[in-house]
Amino acid sequence: METNLARLAESALERFGDYPSLFCAGSWFSSTELHARATRVGAGLGAAGVGPGDRVVVIMANCPEVGIVYHALWRAGAVITPVVFLVTPPELRHIIADSGAVAVVTTPELAPKVAAAQDDAAHVVPVFVVGENFAQLESCDPGPIVERSPDDLAALMYTGGTTGRSKGVALSHANLSNAGASSRSVSHVPGLVRGITALPLSHSFGLLVTVGGLHTPEPTISILQRWFEPTEWLRLAAEHRAQTTAVVPSMLAILLGQPLEDYDLSALEFVFSGAAPLSAAVAAEFERRVPSATVLEGYGCTETGGIISSSPPRAPRRGTVGKPVPGVTVRIVGPDGRDVPTGEDGEIVVRGANVMAHYWGANPMPDGWFSTGDVGRFDADGYLTIVDRIKDLILRGGFNVYPRDVEDALMTHQAVAMAAVVGRPDDRLGEEVVAFVSLADGGEVSTDELVAYARDRLGAHKYPREVHIVDAIPLTSVGKLDRKRLRATVSTPTQASA
């Protein structure tokens, strides 16, 4: 299988020819137009001194230039370093310096943030701004593809940094190509060619969707939203008769707060959810209100190119994240590193051609197995269920409490839109369970009622003794629950209730 991402892009153009392939910000872009721009920008980057193996930071909201720059850098033999546009200047400064980037590509609204990140920084690099000096890159004649081996880096992606300073995940051409091929092999449904996405293309899930498109057996049409805005998402999905979409769970929860019935979503067949645990209540409610749609959950992380397992379309629903995708081996291990019996919880470890060789600046993993830090279990048929993150485990009075269990119970209450659970330090029990909830439009419920509701549905050691109703649950820049911020609000030890 071809692994060079630049050659995969050329192959896709040869297979499908010229057609309207991308709609963004009110305009259509053809496949040949996008490819031609990428060839010119690739040559321009080379002329600007970007060489094989060089890292270039790409910080933009979703726009056609994101894909153009990715493919241009791969043509030049360089390494994309995608950064979600919501990062702070100090975070961006760390990424630019740690990656050893030789340039930054951005858009006008983010140029001040890039400038702030480089203010008084020891590592300062040239900046190309779309609509400004980016034009000089496009003025070059197209150049050839720089040859790269399968093990050469294609992307250096930085983790969210929710537990500390972000780390660089070094992903090769082979890692990303295999991830895209594996994902597409289980998610592609013939004839479903119109997809809408608001996922940041700078996130591993968004990049997986991008690379997966290079492996599709038929031409696909992408409706790209600059960033997620629910009303505009619904309008675009209805207007363009979107058949598929890829989302994170918080997007579905937000969409449920909109008048879905006012939009014709009858063409929408599959909703692929990933990047964070999906509440069964949210999935079921979305399917109830959009009867044509089936919500399918997958599982992956940045270190695996965004994919580990996936729920196949039109397969029986099981409430899991599906089976490991082709080429990926998954084990469930106990604290001693040995496999646990089927049905028992343990840490998920994974190996495959999509798994990174190492973190940036660190030694390669000695045996090729990556420890995800997630707790999961297999059922008798080989389907994988994600229990929670190991680091999010709450130890209350010697009992394990997984936040997701509590969140799922609270989410079944009709007044609750979103829920997040963390542990508060406690002098007597070690930790106490604390819940934060935001309410659905028109929802009315008291904190005491939510405590009682959870007590009726969870074991005595699990239910939250403390519930806070907030206007909005804090999310990270990629739509995950920001437990770090919530933990900071409950960091003072207290005496727990019985």
Radius of gyration of the chain (CA): 23
Q: Determine the average pLDDT of the residues in 146-165.
A: 83
How much of the chain, in percent, has pLDDT values that exceed 70? 98
Helices then strands, counting H and E runs in the chain, come out as: 14, 25
For domain 1-391, the CATH class is alpha beta
Partner residues linked to 370 by β-bridges: 350
pLDDT at 158 over 50: yes
End-to-end CA distance of the chain: 60
Residue 367 is predicted with a pLDDT of: 84
Dihedral pair phi/psi, residue 202, rounded to 5°: -90, -5
CA-closest candidate to residue 205, choices 247, 170, 171: 247
Q: Determine the average pLDDT of the residues in 419-433.
A: 89
Residue 477 is predicted with a pLDDT of: 73
> pLDDT tens digits for 324-376?
999 999 999 999 999 999 999 999 999 999 999 899 999 888 788 999 999 99
pLDDT at 62 over 90: yes
Reported in sequence order, the residue ranges of 83-175 that DSSP labels E, i.e. its strands, are: 103-106, 127-129, 153-158, 168-172
CATH homologous superfamily, domain 393-489: ANL, C-terminal domain (3.30.300.30)
How much of the chain, in percent, has pLDDT values that exceed 90? 75
Partner residues linked to 220 by β-bridges: none
In whole angstroms, give the CA distance from residue 431 to residue 403: 12
CA-closest candidate to residue 249, choices 123, 419, 79: 419
Q: In what order do the strands lie in the sheet with 346-352?
A: 328-333, 346-352, 370-378, 384-389
Residue 160 is predicted with a pLDDT of: 64
Neighbours of 342 (CB within 10 A): 12
Residue 163 is predicted with a pLDDT of: 43
Element (H, E) at 331: strand 328-333
Residue 430 is predicted with a pLDDT of: 85
pLDDT greater at residue 218 or residue 400: 218
Say if CB 468 and CB 436 are below 8 A apart: yes
Q: Could you give the 3-state DSSP secondary structure of residue 339?
A: strand
Pairing of β 221-224 and β 399-401: unpaired
> pLDDT tens digits for 103-126?
999 999 999 999 999 998 888 999
In whole angstroms, give the CA distance from residue 38 to residue 446: 55
> pLDDT tens digits for 394-416?
989 878 888 888 999 999 999 99
> pLDDT tens digits for 11-53?
999 999 999 999 999 999 999 999 999 999 999 999 999 999 9
What is the pTM (predicted TM-score) of this model?
0.86
Residue 493 is predicted with a pLDDT of: 55
Residue 245 is predicted with a pLDDT of: 96
Residue 150 carries which side chain, given as an amino acid letter?
Answer: P
Q: For residue 438, what pLDDT band results from cuts at 50, 70 and 90?
A: very high
Q: For residue 460, what pLDDT band results from cuts at 50, 70 and 90?
A: confident
> pLDDT tens digits for 299-330?
999 999 999 999 988 777 778 999 999 999 99
Say if CB 328 and CB 309 are below 8 A apart: yes
CA-closest candidate to residue 81, choices 168, 173, 177, 193: 168
> pLDDT tens digits for 241-294?
999 999 988 899 899 999 999 999 999 999 999 888 888 888 999 999 999 999
Within its chain, how far is the Cα of 397 from the centroid?
Answer: 34
Which residues lie below 8 Å from residue 226, measured CB to CB, with a gap of 6+? Answer: 24, 25, 61, 62, 63
In whole angstroms, give the CA distance from residue 459 to residue 457: 7
Reported in sequence order, the residue ranges of 427-465 that DSSP labels E, i.e. its strands, are: 430-439
> Average pLDDT over the chain, rounded to whole?
92
Residue 159 is predicted with a pLDDT of: 85
Which residues lie below 8 Å from residue 112, measured CB to CB, with a gap of 6+? Answer: none
pLDDT greater at residue 120 or residue 201: 201
In whole angstroms, give the CA distance from residue 125 to residue 274: 34
In whole angstroms, give the CA distance from residue 257 to residue 269: 20
Neighbours of 373 (CB within 10 A): 15
In whole angstroms, give the CA distance from residue 351 to residue 275: 19
Residue 81 is predicted with a pLDDT of: 98
Residue 496 is predicted with a pLDDT of: 46
Domain layout of the chain by residue ranges: 1-391, 393-489
